[in-house]
Structure 1
Amino acid sequence: MDSPATTTRPAIAAEASRTIAFQGVPGAYSDLSCRHAYPGWATLPCASFEAAMQAVREGRADLAMLPCENSLAGRVPDIHRLLPDSGLHVVGEHFERVEHCLLAPKGATIGSIRRAHSHPVALGQVLKLLKELDLQPVIEADTAGAAALIAERGSTTDAAIASELAAEIYGLEILRRNVEDETHNTTRFYVMSRTPLRPPYGEGNWVTSFVFRVRNIPAALYKALGGFATNGVNMTKLESYMVGGAFTATQFLADVDGQPDEPGLKRALEELAFFSADLRVLGTYPAHPYRLAQREGN
Protein backbone atom coordinates (compact mmCIF):
# COMPACT_ATOMS: atom_id res chain seq x y z
CA MET A 1 0.00 0.00 0.00
CA ASP A 2 1.27 3.48 -0.79
CA SER A 3 2.05 5.70 2.16
CA PRO A 4 -0.56 8.38 2.96
CA ALA A 5 2.29 10.90 2.62
CA THR A 6 2.52 10.17 -1.12
CA THR A 7 0.63 12.51 -3.42
CA THR A 8 0.00 13.18 -7.08
CA ARG A 9 1.13 16.76 -7.55
CA PRO A 10 -0.52 19.22 -9.93
CA ALA A 11 1.73 20.79 -12.55
CA ILE A 12 3.09 24.24 -11.66
CA ALA A 13 4.58 26.69 -14.14
CA ALA A 14 8.36 26.66 -14.34
CA GLU A 15 8.64 30.32 -13.26
CA ALA A 16 6.62 29.69 -10.07
CA SER A 17 8.19 30.60 -6.75
CA ARG A 18 7.57 27.08 -5.42
CA THR A 19 5.92 28.20 -2.19
CA ILE A 20 2.98 26.52 -0.50
CA ALA A 21 0.91 28.21 2.24
CA PHE A 22 -0.70 26.56 5.27
CA GLN A 23 -2.60 27.59 8.38
CA GLY A 24 -0.58 27.39 11.59
CA VAL A 25 2.95 27.89 12.85
CA PRO A 26 6.11 26.08 11.71
CA GLY A 27 5.99 22.43 12.75
CA ALA A 28 2.21 22.10 12.46
CA TYR A 29 0.83 18.97 10.83
CA SER A 30 -0.20 21.10 7.86
CA ASP A 31 3.43 22.22 7.56
CA LEU A 32 4.52 18.57 7.66
CA SER A 33 1.95 17.73 4.97
CA CYS A 34 3.29 20.48 2.71
CA ARG A 35 6.84 19.11 3.07
CA HIS A 36 5.75 15.54 2.39
CA ALA A 37 3.60 16.41 -0.63
CA TYR A 38 5.97 19.02 -2.09
CA PRO A 39 9.53 18.24 -0.94
CA GLY A 40 11.92 21.11 -1.54
CA TRP A 41 9.19 23.75 -1.61
CA ALA A 42 9.20 26.67 0.80
CA THR A 43 6.33 26.58 3.29
CA LEU A 44 4.52 29.76 4.29
CA PRO A 45 2.82 29.77 7.72
CA CYS A 46 -0.39 31.80 7.90
CA ALA A 47 -2.56 32.87 10.83
CA SER A 48 -5.81 31.51 9.37
CA PHE A 49 -7.27 29.47 6.50
CA GLU A 50 -8.41 32.70 4.88
CA ALA A 51 -4.89 34.14 5.16
CA ALA A 52 -3.46 31.05 3.44
CA MET A 53 -5.96 31.47 0.60
CA GLN A 54 -5.16 35.17 0.39
CA ALA A 55 -1.46 34.38 0.05
CA VAL A 56 -2.28 32.33 -3.06
CA ARG A 57 -4.62 34.97 -4.49
CA GLU A 58 -1.92 37.64 -4.06
CA GLY A 59 0.80 35.47 -5.60
CA ARG A 60 2.89 35.15 -2.44
CA ALA A 61 2.30 31.39 -2.63
CA ASP A 62 1.58 29.09 -5.54
CA LEU A 63 -0.58 26.65 -3.59
CA ALA A 64 -2.36 26.33 -0.25
CA MET A 65 -2.62 23.10 1.76
CA LEU A 66 -5.94 23.16 3.64
CA PRO A 67 -7.26 20.35 5.88
CA CYS A 68 -10.84 19.38 5.12
CA GLU A 69 -11.48 16.30 7.26
CA ASN A 70 -9.92 13.90 9.75
CA SER A 71 -10.74 10.21 10.13
CA LEU A 72 -11.33 10.68 13.87
CA ALA A 73 -12.39 14.32 14.34
CA GLY A 74 -14.51 14.60 11.21
CA ARG A 75 -15.02 17.77 9.18
CA VAL A 76 -12.66 20.72 9.70
CA PRO A 77 -14.78 23.78 10.58
CA ASP A 78 -14.81 26.84 8.28
CA ILE A 79 -13.15 25.19 5.28
CA HIS A 80 -16.47 24.34 3.63
CA ARG A 81 -17.74 27.87 4.18
CA LEU A 82 -14.59 29.46 2.71
CA LEU A 83 -14.03 27.27 -0.35
CA PRO A 84 -16.91 28.35 -2.64
CA ASP A 85 -16.07 32.07 -2.53
CA SER A 86 -12.29 31.76 -2.25
CA GLY A 87 -11.64 32.40 -5.94
CA LEU A 88 -9.33 29.37 -5.91
CA HIS A 89 -9.57 25.89 -7.38
CA VAL A 90 -8.96 22.46 -5.88
CA VAL A 91 -6.07 20.95 -7.87
CA GLY A 92 -5.04 18.11 -5.58
CA GLU A 93 -5.69 16.13 -2.44
CA HIS A 94 -3.25 14.83 0.15
CA PHE A 95 -3.68 12.30 2.95
CA GLU A 96 -1.40 12.64 5.96
CA ARG A 97 -1.09 10.04 8.70
CA VAL A 98 -1.14 11.87 12.06
CA GLU A 99 1.70 10.56 14.20
CA HIS A 100 1.70 12.26 17.59
CA CYS A 101 4.92 12.45 19.58
CA LEU A 102 5.49 13.23 23.26
CA LEU A 103 8.00 16.10 23.22
CA ALA A 104 9.90 17.70 26.11
CA PRO A 105 12.96 19.91 26.69
CA LYS A 106 16.37 18.31 26.99
CA GLY A 107 16.86 16.73 30.41
CA ALA A 108 13.21 15.76 30.82
CA THR A 109 12.27 12.12 31.27
CA ILE A 110 9.05 10.13 31.27
CA GLY A 111 9.21 10.21 35.05
CA SER A 112 9.73 13.97 35.34
CA ILE A 113 6.83 15.26 33.24
CA ARG A 114 3.55 16.15 34.90
CA ARG A 115 1.61 18.05 32.22
CA ALA A 116 0.95 17.58 28.50
CA HIS A 117 0.18 20.67 26.37
CA SER A 118 -1.53 20.54 22.97
CA HIS A 119 -4.57 21.36 20.88
CA PRO A 120 -7.78 19.91 22.41
CA VAL A 121 -8.32 17.56 19.45
CA ALA A 122 -4.79 16.17 19.81
CA LEU A 123 -5.23 15.73 23.56
CA GLY A 124 -8.42 13.80 22.90
CA GLN A 125 -6.47 11.45 20.64
CA VAL A 126 -3.88 10.46 23.28
CA LEU A 127 -6.13 9.60 26.22
CA LYS A 128 -4.39 6.28 26.85
CA LEU A 129 -1.03 8.00 27.22
CA LEU A 130 -2.44 10.65 29.56
CA LYS A 131 -3.93 7.96 31.75
CA GLU A 132 -0.83 5.74 31.70
CA LEU A 133 1.56 8.55 32.70
CA ASP A 134 -0.99 10.38 34.88
CA LEU A 135 -0.46 13.62 32.93
CA GLN A 136 -2.60 16.71 33.35
CA PRO A 137 -3.83 17.88 29.91
CA VAL A 138 -3.29 21.59 29.20
CA ILE A 139 -5.14 23.07 26.21
CA GLU A 140 -3.18 25.26 23.79
CA ALA A 141 -4.15 26.91 20.49
CA ASP A 142 -2.33 24.34 18.33
CA THR A 143 0.14 21.46 18.50
CA ALA A 144 3.19 23.24 17.12
CA GLY A 145 2.46 26.30 19.26
CA ALA A 146 2.44 24.02 22.30
CA ALA A 147 5.87 22.70 21.27
CA ALA A 148 7.20 26.24 20.90
CA LEU A 149 5.85 27.16 24.35
CA ILE A 150 7.43 24.11 26.00
CA ALA A 151 10.77 24.87 24.36
CA GLU A 152 10.63 28.48 25.58
CA ARG A 153 9.81 27.49 29.16
CA GLY A 154 12.39 24.73 29.33
CA SER A 155 10.63 23.03 32.23
CA THR A 156 11.31 19.31 32.64
CA THR A 157 7.81 18.85 34.08
CA ASP A 158 5.99 20.01 30.93
CA ALA A 159 5.65 18.16 27.63
CA ALA A 160 3.85 18.74 24.33
CA ILE A 161 1.89 16.49 22.01
CA ALA A 162 3.02 17.46 18.52
CA SER A 163 4.77 16.28 15.38
CA GLU A 164 8.32 15.04 14.88
CA LEU A 165 8.87 18.13 12.72
CA ALA A 166 7.96 20.35 15.70
CA ALA A 167 10.60 18.58 17.80
CA GLU A 168 13.19 19.28 15.12
CA ILE A 169 12.24 22.94 14.70
CA TYR A 170 12.06 23.79 18.41
CA GLY A 171 14.91 21.62 19.67
CA LEU A 172 12.85 19.24 21.79
CA GLU A 173 13.50 15.62 22.73
CA ILE A 174 11.09 12.93 21.55
CA LEU A 175 10.27 10.90 24.66
CA ARG A 176 7.78 8.66 22.81
CA ARG A 177 6.65 8.30 19.22
CA ASN A 178 3.22 7.32 17.85
CA VAL A 179 1.38 7.94 21.10
CA GLU A 180 -2.02 8.34 19.39
CA ASP A 181 -4.77 5.97 20.52
CA GLU A 182 -5.80 5.01 16.98
CA THR A 183 -3.40 4.05 14.19
CA HIS A 184 -5.81 5.08 11.43
CA ASN A 185 -5.72 8.75 12.43
CA THR A 186 -5.42 10.43 9.02
CA THR A 187 -6.15 13.95 7.80
CA ARG A 188 -7.24 14.76 4.26
CA PHE A 189 -6.21 18.05 2.67
CA TYR A 190 -7.35 20.04 -0.35
CA VAL A 191 -4.56 21.62 -2.43
CA MET A 192 -5.73 24.99 -3.75
CA SER A 193 -4.45 27.02 -6.72
CA ARG A 194 -5.31 30.17 -8.66
CA THR A 195 -5.75 28.16 -11.86
CA PRO A 196 -7.74 24.94 -12.31
CA LEU A 197 -6.40 21.67 -13.69
CA ARG A 198 -7.50 20.58 -17.15
CA PRO A 199 -7.44 16.77 -16.94
CA PRO A 200 -6.86 14.83 -20.16
CA TYR A 201 -9.95 12.99 -21.21
CA GLY A 202 -9.96 9.24 -20.60
CA GLU A 203 -6.65 9.10 -18.71
CA GLY A 204 -6.01 8.44 -15.02
CA ASN A 205 -8.22 8.41 -11.93
CA TRP A 206 -9.86 11.73 -11.11
CA VAL A 207 -12.00 13.24 -8.37
CA THR A 208 -14.35 16.19 -8.83
CA SER A 209 -15.50 18.34 -5.90
CA PHE A 210 -18.51 20.67 -6.06
CA VAL A 211 -21.01 22.50 -3.87
CA PHE A 212 -24.73 22.90 -4.55
CA ARG A 213 -28.00 24.05 -3.01
CA VAL A 214 -31.18 22.30 -4.06
CA ARG A 215 -34.31 24.16 -5.05
CA ASN A 216 -37.04 24.43 -2.41
CA ILE A 217 -39.35 21.79 -3.90
CA PRO A 218 -40.45 18.37 -2.58
CA ALA A 219 -37.87 15.56 -2.95
CA ALA A 220 -35.41 17.95 -4.60
CA LEU A 221 -32.34 16.32 -3.05
CA TYR A 222 -33.52 12.83 -3.98
CA LYS A 223 -34.15 13.89 -7.57
CA ALA A 224 -30.92 15.87 -7.80
CA LEU A 225 -28.78 12.93 -6.73
CA GLY A 226 -30.65 10.36 -8.79
CA GLY A 227 -28.62 11.24 -11.87
CA PHE A 228 -25.41 10.00 -10.26
CA ALA A 229 -26.94 6.58 -9.64
CA THR A 230 -28.52 6.22 -13.08
CA ASN A 231 -25.30 7.31 -14.79
CA GLY A 232 -23.06 5.02 -12.75
CA VAL A 233 -21.12 7.79 -10.99
CA ASN A 234 -19.60 6.89 -7.62
CA MET A 235 -20.17 9.59 -4.99
CA THR A 236 -17.55 9.29 -2.23
CA LYS A 237 -18.55 12.26 -0.09
CA LEU A 238 -21.73 14.22 0.65
CA GLU A 239 -21.96 16.70 3.50
CA SER A 240 -24.53 19.33 4.35
CA TYR A 241 -24.09 22.56 6.26
CA MET A 242 -26.07 25.73 6.84
CA VAL A 243 -25.31 28.93 4.96
CA GLY A 244 -26.09 32.48 5.97
CA GLY A 245 -27.28 31.41 9.42
CA ALA A 246 -30.59 30.17 8.04
CA PHE A 247 -31.93 26.76 9.00
CA THR A 248 -33.72 26.51 5.65
CA ALA A 249 -30.64 27.33 3.52
CA THR A 250 -28.61 24.15 3.30
CA GLN A 251 -25.57 23.76 1.09
CA PHE A 252 -23.99 20.44 0.15
CA LEU A 253 -20.37 19.57 -0.56
CA ALA A 254 -19.76 16.47 -2.66
CA ASP A 255 -16.85 14.49 -4.09
CA VAL A 256 -17.41 12.10 -7.00
CA ASP A 257 -15.17 9.87 -9.06
CA GLY A 258 -14.40 11.12 -12.55
CA GLN A 259 -14.11 14.38 -14.44
CA PRO A 260 -16.91 16.58 -15.87
CA ASP A 261 -16.04 15.79 -19.51
CA GLU A 262 -16.89 12.12 -19.05
CA PRO A 263 -20.38 11.43 -20.44
CA GLY A 264 -21.80 9.86 -17.26
CA LEU A 265 -20.63 12.61 -14.92
CA LYS A 266 -21.57 15.30 -17.42
CA ARG A 267 -25.17 14.04 -17.55
CA ALA A 268 -25.31 13.67 -13.75
CA LEU A 269 -24.15 17.26 -13.24
CA GLU A 270 -26.68 18.52 -15.79
CA GLU A 271 -29.47 16.77 -13.89
CA LEU A 272 -28.14 18.13 -10.60
CA ALA A 273 -28.09 21.65 -12.02
CA PHE A 274 -31.76 21.37 -13.02
CA PHE A 275 -32.82 20.70 -9.42
CA SER A 276 -30.31 23.11 -7.82
CA ALA A 277 -30.51 26.79 -7.02
CA ASP A 278 -26.73 26.99 -7.22
CA LEU A 279 -24.03 24.58 -8.44
CA ARG A 280 -20.32 25.32 -8.46
CA VAL A 281 -17.51 22.93 -9.35
CA LEU A 282 -14.57 23.55 -7.00
CA GLY A 283 -12.08 21.52 -8.99
CA THR A 284 -11.05 18.26 -10.62
CA TYR A 285 -7.83 16.62 -9.49
CA PRO A 286 -5.95 13.29 -9.47
CA ALA A 287 -7.17 10.71 -6.97
CA HIS A 288 -4.53 10.26 -4.25
CA PRO A 289 -2.82 6.84 -4.07
CA TYR A 290 -4.12 6.46 -0.50
CA ARG A 291 -7.70 6.78 -1.76
CA LEU A 292 -7.09 4.20 -4.46
CA ALA A 293 -5.42 1.77 -2.02
CA GLN A 294 -8.38 2.03 0.37
CA ARG A 295 -10.78 1.40 -2.50
CA GLU A 296 -8.87 -1.74 -3.48
CA GLY A 297 -8.87 -2.86 0.16
CA ASN A 298 -12.65 -2.70 0.24
Structure 2
Amino acid sequence: MATIAFQGELGAYSHEACRDARPDHAPLPCATFEDCIGAMRDGRADLAMLPVENSTYGRVADIHRLLPDSGLHIVAESFLRVRIALLGLPGTRLSDIARVRAHLVLIPQCRDFLAAHGIRAEAAADSAGAAADLVRRGDRSDGALASVLAAETYGLDVLARDIEDHGHNTTRFVVMAREPLRPAAGAGPVKTTFVFRVRNIPAALYKAMGGFATNGVNMTKLESYMVDGRFSATQFYADIEGHPKDPPVARALEELSYFTSKLDILGVYPADPDHFEGGLTPA
Protein backbone atom coordinates (compact mmCIF):
# COMPACT_ATOMS: atom_id res chain seq x y z
CA MET A 1 0.00 0.00 0.00
CA ALA A 2 1.26 3.50 -0.83
CA THR A 3 2.22 5.68 2.14
CA ILE A 4 1.99 9.38 2.93
CA ALA A 5 4.25 11.00 5.54
CA PHE A 6 3.16 13.75 7.91
CA GLN A 7 4.65 15.56 10.89
CA GLY A 8 3.14 14.60 14.22
CA GLU A 9 1.56 11.59 15.87
CA LEU A 10 -1.39 9.54 14.69
CA GLY A 11 -4.53 11.57 15.23
CA ALA A 12 -2.84 14.91 14.47
CA TYR A 13 -4.56 17.42 12.21
CA SER A 14 -1.94 16.64 9.57
CA HIS A 15 -3.02 12.99 9.80
CA GLU A 16 -6.61 14.13 9.27
CA ALA A 17 -5.50 16.07 6.18
CA CYS A 18 -3.83 12.90 4.86
CA ARG A 19 -6.96 10.86 5.44
CA ASP A 20 -9.17 13.41 3.71
CA ALA A 21 -6.93 14.03 0.70
CA ARG A 22 -5.36 10.60 0.20
CA PRO A 23 -7.59 7.99 1.88
CA ASP A 24 -5.93 5.24 -0.20
CA HIS A 25 -2.51 5.94 1.38
CA ALA A 26 -1.32 4.55 4.71
CA PRO A 27 -0.28 7.37 7.09
CA LEU A 28 3.37 7.52 8.18
CA PRO A 29 3.88 9.71 11.27
CA CYS A 30 7.22 11.55 11.49
CA ALA A 31 8.73 13.53 14.35
CA THR A 32 9.77 16.57 12.27
CA PHE A 33 9.28 18.12 8.84
CA GLU A 34 12.85 17.11 8.02
CA ASP A 35 11.94 13.51 8.84
CA CYS A 36 9.00 13.71 6.42
CA ILE A 37 11.34 14.82 3.65
CA GLY A 38 13.83 12.13 4.65
CA ALA A 39 11.11 9.48 4.43
CA MET A 40 10.43 10.62 0.87
CA ARG A 41 14.09 10.54 -0.08
CA ASP A 42 14.75 7.03 1.25
CA GLY A 43 11.56 5.59 -0.24
CA ARG A 44 9.64 4.90 2.98
CA ALA A 45 6.92 7.31 1.86
CA ASP A 46 5.38 7.89 -1.56
CA LEU A 47 3.96 11.31 -0.69
CA ALA A 48 4.30 13.88 2.08
CA MET A 49 1.61 16.16 3.50
CA LEU A 50 3.14 19.41 4.77
CA PRO A 51 1.34 22.46 6.22
CA VAL A 52 2.40 25.78 4.75
CA GLU A 53 0.07 28.33 6.31
CA ASN A 54 -2.78 28.79 8.74
CA SER A 55 -5.56 31.37 8.50
CA THR A 56 -5.08 32.37 12.14
CA TYR A 57 -1.33 32.07 12.68
CA GLY A 58 0.10 32.68 9.22
CA ARG A 59 3.16 30.94 7.82
CA VAL A 60 4.23 27.61 9.29
CA ALA A 61 7.77 28.07 10.60
CA ASP A 62 10.65 26.53 8.59
CA ILE A 63 8.50 25.18 5.74
CA HIS A 64 9.50 27.86 3.22
CA ARG A 65 13.14 27.23 4.07
CA LEU A 66 12.82 23.45 3.70
CA LEU A 67 10.75 23.14 0.52
CA PRO A 68 13.19 24.71 -2.00
CA ASP A 69 16.05 22.41 -0.94
CA SER A 70 13.96 19.27 -0.47
CA GLY A 71 14.24 18.05 -4.06
CA LEU A 72 10.51 17.35 -3.94
CA HIS A 73 7.66 18.77 -6.00
CA ILE A 74 4.24 20.11 -5.02
CA VAL A 75 1.57 18.04 -6.78
CA ALA A 76 -1.58 19.14 -4.90
CA GLU A 77 -2.94 21.43 -2.24
CA SER A 78 -5.43 20.60 0.50
CA PHE A 79 -7.30 22.74 3.04
CA LEU A 80 -8.35 21.47 6.45
CA ARG A 81 -10.80 23.26 8.71
CA VAL A 82 -9.36 22.85 12.21
CA ARG A 83 -12.18 21.59 14.41
CA ILE A 84 -11.29 21.28 18.10
CA ALA A 85 -12.85 18.66 20.36
CA LEU A 86 -12.52 18.11 24.10
CA LEU A 87 -11.52 14.49 24.69
CA GLY A 88 -11.72 12.48 27.90
CA LEU A 89 -11.20 8.94 29.10
CA PRO A 90 -14.08 6.53 28.38
CA GLY A 91 -17.03 7.17 30.66
CA THR A 92 -15.82 10.63 31.68
CA ARG A 93 -18.31 13.50 31.80
CA LEU A 94 -17.57 17.08 30.83
CA SER A 95 -18.14 18.15 34.45
CA ASP A 96 -15.30 15.82 35.53
CA ILE A 97 -12.66 17.71 33.57
CA ALA A 98 -10.53 20.17 35.54
CA ARG A 99 -7.51 20.42 33.22
CA VAL A 100 -6.83 19.99 29.52
CA ARG A 101 -3.58 19.74 27.61
CA ALA A 102 -3.03 20.71 23.96
CA HIS A 103 -0.60 22.33 21.57
CA LEU A 104 -0.05 25.94 22.52
CA VAL A 105 -1.80 27.29 19.41
CA LEU A 106 -5.08 25.49 20.17
CA ILE A 107 -5.57 26.77 23.71
CA PRO A 108 -6.31 30.45 22.91
CA GLN A 109 -8.85 29.37 20.29
CA CYS A 110 -11.00 27.75 22.99
CA ARG A 111 -10.62 30.41 25.68
CA ASP A 112 -14.35 31.18 25.97
CA PHE A 113 -15.35 27.53 26.25
CA LEU A 114 -12.68 26.72 28.83
CA ALA A 115 -13.56 29.77 30.94
CA ALA A 116 -17.27 28.93 30.85
CA HIS A 117 -16.55 25.45 32.22
CA GLY A 118 -13.82 26.40 34.69
CA ILE A 119 -11.19 24.32 32.95
CA ARG A 120 -7.54 25.30 33.10
CA ALA A 121 -5.23 24.57 30.17
CA GLU A 122 -1.60 23.51 29.91
CA ALA A 123 0.57 23.49 26.80
CA ALA A 124 1.80 20.21 25.31
CA ALA A 125 4.22 19.46 22.51
CA ASP A 126 1.33 18.50 20.22
CA SER A 127 -2.36 17.81 20.58
CA ALA A 128 -2.42 14.22 19.32
CA GLY A 129 0.43 13.49 21.72
CA ALA A 130 -1.62 15.01 24.53
CA ALA A 131 -4.46 12.63 23.65
CA ALA A 132 -2.11 9.64 23.69
CA ASP A 133 -0.59 10.78 26.98
CA LEU A 134 -4.07 11.08 28.51
CA VAL A 135 -4.58 7.35 27.94
CA ARG A 136 -1.22 6.54 29.54
CA ARG A 137 -1.86 8.70 32.62
CA GLY A 138 -5.43 7.55 33.20
CA ASP A 139 -6.44 10.65 35.19
CA ARG A 140 -10.20 11.14 34.78
CA SER A 141 -9.99 14.82 35.74
CA ASP A 142 -7.74 15.47 32.73
CA GLY A 143 -8.73 16.00 29.12
CA ALA A 144 -7.13 16.87 25.80
CA LEU A 145 -7.96 19.34 23.06
CA ALA A 146 -7.50 17.58 19.75
CA SER A 147 -9.28 16.23 16.69
CA VAL A 148 -12.11 13.72 16.63
CA LEU A 149 -9.67 11.51 14.73
CA ALA A 150 -7.41 11.54 17.79
CA ALA A 151 -10.34 10.30 19.88
CA GLU A 152 -10.93 7.47 17.40
CA THR A 153 -7.22 6.65 17.31
CA TYR A 154 -6.71 6.40 21.06
CA GLY A 155 -10.14 5.17 22.18
CA LEU A 156 -11.19 8.38 23.94
CA ASP A 157 -14.65 9.87 24.35
CA VAL A 158 -15.58 13.13 22.64
CA LEU A 159 -17.04 15.27 25.43
CA ALA A 160 -17.62 18.37 23.30
CA ARG A 161 -17.18 19.18 19.62
CA ASP A 162 -16.34 22.36 17.69
CA ILE A 163 -15.46 24.27 20.85
CA GLU A 164 -13.27 26.86 19.13
CA ASP A 165 -14.37 30.46 19.70
CA HIS A 166 -14.33 31.29 15.97
CA GLY A 167 -15.13 28.90 13.16
CA HIS A 168 -12.66 30.04 10.54
CA ASN A 169 -9.35 28.42 11.50
CA THR A 170 -8.10 26.63 8.38
CA THR A 171 -4.71 25.16 7.51
CA ARG A 172 -3.44 24.91 3.96
CA PHE A 173 -1.30 21.88 3.15
CA VAL A 174 0.71 20.92 0.10
CA VAL A 175 1.20 17.34 -1.09
CA MET A 176 4.80 16.62 -2.07
CA ALA A 177 6.09 13.93 -4.45
CA ARG A 178 9.47 12.89 -5.77
CA GLU A 179 8.50 13.65 -9.37
CA PRO A 180 6.47 16.58 -10.74
CA LEU A 181 2.93 15.82 -11.84
CA ARG A 182 1.81 18.87 -13.76
CA PRO A 183 -1.73 19.12 -15.11
CA ALA A 184 -2.15 20.16 -18.72
CA ALA A 185 -2.52 23.86 -19.43
CA GLY A 186 -6.17 24.84 -19.79
CA ALA A 187 -7.42 21.67 -18.09
CA GLY A 188 -8.82 23.58 -15.10
CA PRO A 189 -7.84 25.96 -12.33
CA VAL A 190 -4.13 25.61 -11.60
CA LYS A 191 -1.68 27.14 -9.14
CA THR A 192 2.05 27.59 -9.60
CA THR A 193 4.42 27.92 -6.64
CA PHE A 194 7.96 29.23 -7.04
CA VAL A 195 10.83 30.84 -5.14
CA PHE A 196 13.08 33.61 -6.41
CA ARG A 197 15.80 36.04 -5.41
CA VAL A 198 15.88 39.50 -6.91
CA ARG A 199 19.05 40.96 -8.40
CA ASN A 200 20.84 43.66 -6.45
CA ILE A 201 19.56 46.58 -8.52
CA PRO A 202 17.31 49.53 -7.59
CA ALA A 203 13.58 48.72 -7.48
CA ALA A 204 14.20 45.13 -8.54
CA LEU A 205 11.24 43.71 -6.59
CA TYR A 206 8.89 46.41 -7.87
CA LYS A 207 9.94 45.67 -11.44
CA ALA A 208 9.77 41.93 -10.94
CA MET A 209 6.19 42.14 -9.68
CA GLY A 210 5.11 44.47 -12.47
CA GLY A 211 4.88 41.65 -14.99
CA PHE A 212 2.18 39.89 -13.00
CA ALA A 213 0.11 43.06 -12.70
CA THR A 214 0.35 44.03 -16.37
CA ASN A 215 -0.50 40.49 -17.50
CA GLY A 216 -3.47 40.10 -15.16
CA VAL A 217 -2.00 37.20 -13.18
CA ASN A 218 -3.37 36.88 -9.66
CA MET A 219 -0.62 36.43 -7.06
CA THR A 220 -2.24 34.86 -4.00
CA LYS A 221 0.86 34.70 -1.82
CA LEU A 222 4.19 36.52 -1.56
CA GLU A 223 6.45 36.12 1.45
CA SER A 224 10.09 36.91 2.07
CA TYR A 225 12.58 35.20 4.34
CA MET A 226 16.30 35.43 4.96
CA VAL A 227 18.69 32.89 3.46
CA ASP A 228 21.44 31.41 5.65
CA GLY A 229 20.73 33.98 8.37
CA ARG A 230 22.02 36.89 6.28
CA PHE A 231 20.08 40.15 6.12
CA SER A 232 21.48 40.82 2.64
CA ALA A 233 20.19 37.54 1.16
CA THR A 234 16.42 37.49 0.84
CA GLN A 235 14.39 34.85 -0.94
CA PHE A 236 10.73 35.17 -1.89
CA TYR A 237 8.09 32.45 -1.90
CA ALA A 238 5.11 33.01 -4.20
CA ASP A 239 1.86 31.36 -5.31
CA ILE A 240 0.08 32.47 -8.45
CA GLU A 241 -3.06 31.32 -10.21
CA GLY A 242 -2.37 29.87 -13.62
CA HIS A 243 -0.10 27.49 -15.52
CA PRO A 244 3.40 28.44 -16.78
CA LYS A 245 2.19 27.62 -20.30
CA ASP A 246 -0.71 30.06 -20.08
CA PRO A 247 0.45 33.04 -22.20
CA PRO A 248 -0.13 35.64 -19.43
CA VAL A 249 1.79 33.55 -16.90
CA ALA A 250 4.57 32.79 -19.38
CA ARG A 251 5.03 36.50 -20.08
CA ALA A 252 5.02 37.37 -16.37
CA LEU A 253 7.60 34.69 -15.54
CA GLU A 254 9.79 35.80 -18.43
CA GLU A 255 9.73 39.37 -17.16
CA LEU A 256 10.45 38.13 -13.64
CA SER A 257 13.57 36.34 -14.88
CA TYR A 258 15.10 39.65 -16.01
CA PHE A 259 15.22 40.89 -12.42
CA THR A 260 16.11 37.71 -10.53
CA SER A 261 19.32 35.83 -9.81
CA LYS A 262 17.41 32.64 -8.94
CA LEU A 263 14.01 31.33 -9.99
CA ASP A 264 12.83 27.80 -9.17
CA ILE A 265 9.34 26.42 -9.73
CA LEU A 266 8.38 24.15 -6.82
CA GLY A 267 5.13 22.90 -8.29
CA VAL A 268 2.34 23.29 -10.82
CA TYR A 269 -0.79 21.62 -9.47
CA PRO A 270 -4.60 21.69 -9.50
CA ALA A 271 -6.10 24.45 -7.36
CA ASP A 272 -8.49 23.35 -4.65
CA PRO A 273 -11.88 24.18 -6.23
CA ASP A 274 -13.35 25.30 -2.89
CA HIS A 275 -10.58 27.88 -2.38
CA PHE A 276 -9.78 29.02 -5.91
CA GLU A 277 -9.87 32.81 -6.29
CA GLY A 278 -10.35 32.75 -10.06
CA GLY A 279 -8.17 35.73 -10.91
CA LEU A 280 -6.98 34.33 -14.22
CA THR A 281 -8.87 32.59 -16.98
CA PRO A 282 -6.48 30.14 -18.66
CA ALA A 283 -5.88 30.89 -22.32
User: Shorter-chain-normalised TM-score: which range?
Assistant: over 0.9
Task: Report the residue type matching 1:153 in the other structure.
Answer: R
> Which of residues 154, 172, 177 is equivalent to 2:138?
154
Aligned to 1:105: 89
Task: Report the residue type matching 2:112 in the other structure.
Answer: K
SS in 1 for 2:95: coil
SS in 2 for 1:228: helix
SS in 2 for 1:126: helix
State the alpha-carbon separation in 1 of the partners of residues 62 and 129 from structure 2: 20
Range with greater deviation from structure 2 (225-234 or 104-113): 104-113
> Which of residues 194, 201, 221 is equivalent to 1:217?
201
Paired residues for 1:59-70 under 5 Å: 59-70=43-54
State the alpha-carbon separation in 2 of the partners of residues 258 and 276 from structure 1: 20
After superposition, the C-alpha distances for 1:58-85 in whole angstroms (9 at most, x for unaligned) are: 2211110000011111110010000000
Shift of 1:207: 0.1
State the alpha-carbon separation in 2 of the partners of residues 217 and 111 from structure 1: 64
State the alpha-carbon separation in 1 of the partners of residues 183 and 240 from structure 2: 15
Task: Report the residue type matching 2:97 in the other structure.
Answer: I
State the alpha-carbon separation in 2 of the partners of residues 279 and 222 from structure 1: 16
Aligned to 2:27: 43
Matched, 1:242 2:226: yes
Aligned to 1:201: 185
After superposition, the C-alpha distances for 1:217-271 in whole angstroms (9 at most, x for unaligned) are: 1111000000001111111111111111112221111000111111111111111
Identity over aligned residues, as a percent? 58
Shift of 1:199: 2.0
Paired residues for 1:74-89 under 5 Å: 74-89=58-73
Aligned to 1:273: 257
Shift of 1:165: 0.6
Task: Report the residue type matching 1:151 in the other structure.
Answer: V
Shift of 1:107: 2.9
Matched, 1:93 2:87: no
After superposition, the C-alpha distances for 1:96-140 in whole angstroms (9 at most, x for unaligned) are: 111100001123222111111000001121111121112111111
**TM-score normalised by length of structure 1:** 0.91
Aligned to 2:10: 26
> Which of residues 110, 113, 118 is equivalent to 1:134?
118
Task: Report the residue type matching 2:117 in the other structure.
Answer: L
Task: Report the residue type matching 2:188 in the other structure.
Answer: G
Task: Report the residue type matching 2:144 in the other structure.
Answer: A
SS in 1 for 2:94: coil
CA contact 2:241–2:278 (8 Å) conserved in 1: no
> Which of residues 160, 164, 174 is equivalent to 1:176?
160
Task: Report the residue type matching 1:133 in the other structure.
Answer: H
CA contact 2:182–2:267 (8 Å) conserved in 1: no
Aligned to 1:289: 273
Distance verdict in 2 for CA 1:204–1:180, change over 3 Å: same
Q: Structure 1: state its 5+ residue gaps.
A: 1-16
State the alpha-carbon separation in 2 of the partners of residues 213 and 59 from structure 1: 31
Task: Report the residue type matching 1:185 in the other structure.
Answer: N
State the alpha-carbon separation in 1 of the partners of residues 278 and 254 from structure 2: 27
State the alpha-carbon separation in 2 of the partners of residues 56 and 168 from structure 1: 27
Matched, 1:257 2:241: yes
**TM-score normalised by length of structure 2:** 0.96
Shift of 1:295: 5.5
> Which of residues 161, 175, 185 is equivalent to 2:169?
185
Shift of 1:40: 2.8
State the alpha-carbon separation in 2 of the partners of residues 198 and 130 from structure 1: 46
Task: Report the residue type matching 2:8 in the other structure.
Answer: G
